[in-house]
Amino acid sequence: MLHSLLKPKCQHYRYHLPSAEFITTWTEITEESAKPTHAISITSNSDPDVCFYNRVITAYFNAGNLSDAEKLFERMPRRNSVSYNSMISGYSQNGYVGKCLKIISKMLGVAGIRPTKFTFGSLLGSSSALELKNGVCLHTLMLKSGILNSDQFSGTALLGFYGKQGNLNDSLKVFMEMPERGVITWNSMIAAFANHRFTNDCTILFRELWRNRGHGGIEASSFTFLTLLTIGRSPEFSLYGETIHGIVIRLGMESDVTLTNALLEMYSNVSSGSPETAEKLFTTMTNSDTISWNTIITAFSKSRRPGRAVEFFFNMVFDGRYHPTETTFTSTITACCSLDPPEFFFGEIIHAKAIKNSLAKSEFTGTALLHFYANHKHLKHAEKIFEEIPTKTVVSWNTLITGYVNNDHSTVIPLRIMLHNGMCRPNEFTLSSAVKGSSFPELNQIHSLIIRMGYSDDGYVSAAVMSSYSSNGYFSDALGYASLLKTPLNSVSANIIAATYNRSGRYSDAQRLLGCINDTGDVTATSRNILIASCSRSGDLSGAFLILKQMMIGKNFPDNYAAVGLLSLCTDLNCLGLGTSLHGLLIKVQFESFDLFVQNVLLDMYGKCGNLEGSLKVFKEMGEKNMVSWTALISALGIHGHGILALQKFKQMETEGFIPDRVSLVTVLSTCRYTGLVEEGMALFRDMKSLYGIEPDMDHFVCVVDLLCKNGYLKEAEKVISNMPFQPNAAVWRIFLGHCNDITDIKYDFDYPFSKIESL
């Protein structure tokens, strides 16, 4: 437009300048045309009206040109309320709260111009930097000028400001004192409560709004329901979200794709629900968009059915109406991380499609691909993906280092490259991930780096350092590091130190430390499990069950770790009564939810505590069995003298596809020695290598020597000892000589065994 205005008309006049009257008629002044338009008004010696200057000021602010806006405002021959409001709005949008307040002071003082509904509303509604005390002053000015009682816009902005500040009482007071309230006012008040998780207050307000509709009241808008659905995502209010869904259907608003997407996200995020509920809604949606597809894909990618997310991705692609975005690829590739190895190729196909859509090297999709390949043990592919990401963030580096840790690779090299690169500084997650996968020499290097970077007292990093020292067997280093910490111990660090005490046999120290944590009220389920494990290993029966009692009082039911610790203690102390009572408690809190390891420990407890029927019943009721289950059953049968039945179960175990391991063979040989099955035991011992590929070790030889000696075959036992491929230990000779002493009617030359014992 300006080029056409400045176009030469004849040789005598180079430019044809617009008249002052024409300039004042320009209603549309854009960010690009603000400066040229202003220049024309000056060079044409025109005298535009105040409206023209106000529009130019607004255009300057929209372009971020604050200095020109200020100069123009100061040079304006005349100003009105719109001039001041334009300056206030421009300053507030750019975060200059102090300048806003000065303009308001100048407007009300020197200029003597009465404020309008836009004077306060723009500052209260758009600026996040406005302090509470300044907001209170504005509130006073609004009351004094009468704006608050006559304008919904200003009142709504004020209650929204108080809501953002967390002053919900003041916000509600403004709301109640407003003579008229529109739907935006109601929405602002509901949003203020929703943002601070005051769910009951939200529901009360909505009920009041809903009750008055149709009687001259206000109809709820789609934004009302969008706000309410933010609180319907929490598990305790899932039914509330379903109620909102019903109202949306009743009002015929389900065609609003934004609102339906919010419902879809609500169902996807409720942990007490399931993505299947979201899928039902998705299949009935009359209108959908890319956000709808992304929401359902993300829901299943976080669920126990990640394969369904992949199916939805391909359905979206085959539909043809929607183009996958970075969010689509990121969520789908994340789902592929949880797929079984045979389904690895799905991730490769999606990777190819991401390349085709030019999204494979984006920050989020690239990081997801990096995690996918590292998670499936394709570290070379992961490294290649990492190299191709143009902008490597700390998240990308953390994902790569985590991949190295999970694949048992050294993390020192990528950490050094990261430091040398200088583009990204390691954070607490980088260092904690690196230290978790370190061997002892590397651990010292990374620990030194942690100290140099000032993270030694960070709770997350210090917990990882202590855990790494402890897992490498350096308990004194872990405890020494803990003693040097300057910050108070949090529950995570305390749990790691207590677990280290347990590993090093310092059970009383573990109990004392976690006892102090318990006094502060910061005790966690992990803390209780460590305490139970400590009591179990130290044989403190009363202490372990006292912790269980405290858990039950607080309605904290035992989990897998607590159950294993308590059952193991009952086994070690032969407390069948307590073990049976504990079994009853586990059944009451849904025993089927406990994992197979707990069931195996329970089976073993009954067997070793003298209740064979209990062992058989537990074994029969187990939905899933593994090698440990069969081994525990065979051990129980052997202890109770049912050798033949134990061997039958051993054969049945083989029939069902379980290949005996070293421990199960020791158990069967022990059963044979308990029940005197010499021939069966010796046959199994001779065929161990040929049938199962297992070379007999010291435990197997101990069982066989005891089996032979118990049944009077001392010569055969001596022959077995003399043919051992390694030096017999003291336990073998103790068994042999003990049985020689029992059999007094046999003459035996003890020179050979005594000479061997002396050599030990």
pLDDT at 503: 82
Contact status, residue 107 vs residue 73, Cβ threshold 8 Å: no
Which residue shows structure tokens 């780096």?
449
Q: Looking at beta carbons, which pairs linking 238-247 to residues 24 or more positions away fall under 8 Å?
A: 238/270, 238/272, 238/273, 240/199, 240/203, 241/266, 241/267, 241/270, 245/281, 247/210
- For residue 437, with 0-12 CB atoms within 10 Å meaning exposed, 13-18 middle and 19 or more buried, which class applies? buried
Q: Average pLDDT for residues 40-61, to the nearest whole number?
A: 72
Whether the per-residue pLDDT at 688 is higher than 70: the answer is yes
Whether the per-residue pLDDT at 22 is higher than 60: the answer is no
Whether the per-residue pLDDT at 347 is higher than 90: the answer is yes
pLDDT at 238: 65
Whether the per-residue pLDDT at 315 is higher than 90: the answer is yes
Three-state secondary structure string covering 706-731? HHHHHCCCHHHHHHHHHCCCCCCCHH
Give the Cα separation of 382 and 371 in Å (integer). Answer: 7
Q: Which of 397-406, 425-434, 484-493, 641-650 has the lowest mean pLDDT?
A: 484-493
Number of helices followed by number of strands (H, E) in the chain: 45, 0
Percentage of the chain lying above the pLDDT 90 cut? 23
Q: Which of 214-228, 230-244, 260-274 has the lowest mean pLDDT?
A: 230-244
Q: Looking at beta carbons, which pairs linking 614-618 to residues 24 or more positions away fall under 8 Å?
A: 614/580, 614/583
Give the Cα separation of 651 and 629 in Å (integer). Answer: 14
Give the Cα separation of 689 and 284 in Å (integer). Answer: 63
Q: What is the DSSP letter of 96?
A: -
pLDDT at 259: 92
Whether the per-residue pLDDT at 163 is higher than 50: the answer is yes
Task: State the Cα torsion 233-239-243-244 to the nearest 10°.
Answer: -10
pLDDT at 291: 94
Q: Average pLDDT for residues 193-217, to the nearest whole number?
A: 80
Q: Which of 9-18, 48-57, 647-656, 723-732 has the lowest mean pLDDT?
A: 9-18
Q: Average pLDDT for residues 382-390, to the nearest whole number?
A: 90
Question: Six-digit token pair at 546?
Answer: 């006292």
pLDDT at 16: 46
Whether the per-residue pLDDT at 30 is higher than 80: the answer is no
pLDDT at 593: 66
Residues 6+ apart with CB under 8 A from 460: 428, 429, 432, 492
Contact status, residue 536 vs residue 566, Cβ threshold 8 Å: yes
Give the Cα separation of 394 and 402 in Å (integer). Answer: 12
Which residue shows structure tokens 């197997």?
700
pLDDT band at residue 494 under the 50/70/90 scheme: confident
- The dihedral built from the CA positions of residue 94, 97, 99 and 100, taken in this order, carries a sign that is positive
pLDDT band at residue 457 under the 50/70/90 scheme: confident
pLDDT at 1: 40
Give the Cα separation of 577 and 543 in Å (integer). Answer: 17
Q: Average pLDDT for residues 304-311, to the nearest whole number?
A: 92
How many CB atoms are located within 10 Å of the residue 76 CB?
15
pLDDT at 627: 93
Percentage of the chain lying above the pLDDT 70 cut? 87
CA angle 696, 647, 707 (to 5 degrees): 50
Q: Average pLDDT for residues 395-402, to the nearest whole number?
A: 89
pLDDT at 74: 83
pLDDT at 350: 95
Whether the per-residue pLDDT at 563 is higher than 70: the answer is yes
pLDDT band at residue 357 under the 50/70/90 scheme: very high
Give the Cα separation of 180 and 171 in Å (integer). Answer: 15
Whether the per-residue pLDDT at 268 is higher than 80: the answer is yes
What pLDDT, in 10s, does the model give residues 502-514? 888 888 888 887 8
Give the Cα separation of 293 and 618 in Å (integer). Answer: 46
Q: What is the DSSP string of 326-385?
A: HHHHHHHHHHHTTS-GGGHHHHHHHHHHHHHTT-TTSHHHHHHHHHHHHHTT-HHHHHHH
Mean pLDDT score across all residues of the chain: 82
Single-letter amino acid, residue 461: V
Collapsing DSSP states into helix, strand and coil, what is residue 505? coil
pLDDT band at residue 477 under the 50/70/90 scheme: confident
Q: How far apart are the first and last CA of the chain?
A: 106
Q: Average pLDDT for residues 647-667, to the nearest whole number?
A: 92
Is-above-0.85 flag for pTM?
no
Whether the per-residue pLDDT at 33 is higher than 70: the answer is no
What pLDDT, in 10s, does the model give residues 110-151? 788 888 878 887 778 766 667 888 888 888 888 888 887 777
Q: Average pLDDT for residues 68-81, to the nearest whole number?
A: 83
Whether the per-residue pLDDT at 158 is higher than 70: the answer is yes
What pLDDT, in 10s, does the model give residues 564-575? 888 988 988 889
pLDDT band at residue 196 under the 50/70/90 scheme: confident
Whether the per-residue pLDDT at 415 is higher than 90: the answer is no
pLDDT at 520: 52
Q: Average pLDDT for residues 273-283, to the nearest whole number?
A: 85
Collapsing DSSP states into helix, strand and coil, what is residue 38? helix
Which residue shows structure tokens 């409206």?
51
pLDDT at 202: 86
- Of residues 330 and 46, more confidence is placed in 330
Q: Which of 82-91, 198-207, 374-383, 420-429 has the lowest mean pLDDT?
A: 420-429
Give the Cα separation of 502 and 471 in Å (integer). Answer: 12
Whether the per-residue pLDDT at 239 is higher than 80: the answer is no
Q: What angle separates helix 326-336 from helix 306-319, to the nearest 10 degrees?
A: 140
Whether the per-residue pLDDT at 6 is higher than 50: the answer is no
Which CATH class, in words, describes the domain spanning 622-759?
Answer: mainly alpha
Give the Cα separation of 495 and 513 in Å (integer). Answer: 9
Q: State how far the alpha carbon of 270 is from the alpha carbons of 264, 276, 277, 390, 397, in Å.
A: 10, 12, 10, 36, 32
pLDDT band at residue 235 under the 50/70/90 scheme: low
Whether the per-residue pLDDT at 472 is higher than 90: the answer is no
pLDDT at 13: 40
Collapsing DSSP states into helix, strand and coil, what is residue 447? helix
Contact status, residue 502 vs residue 533, Cβ threshold 8 Å: yes
Give residue limits of the domains in the chain.
402-487, 622-759
- Of residues 234 and 735, more confidence is placed in 735
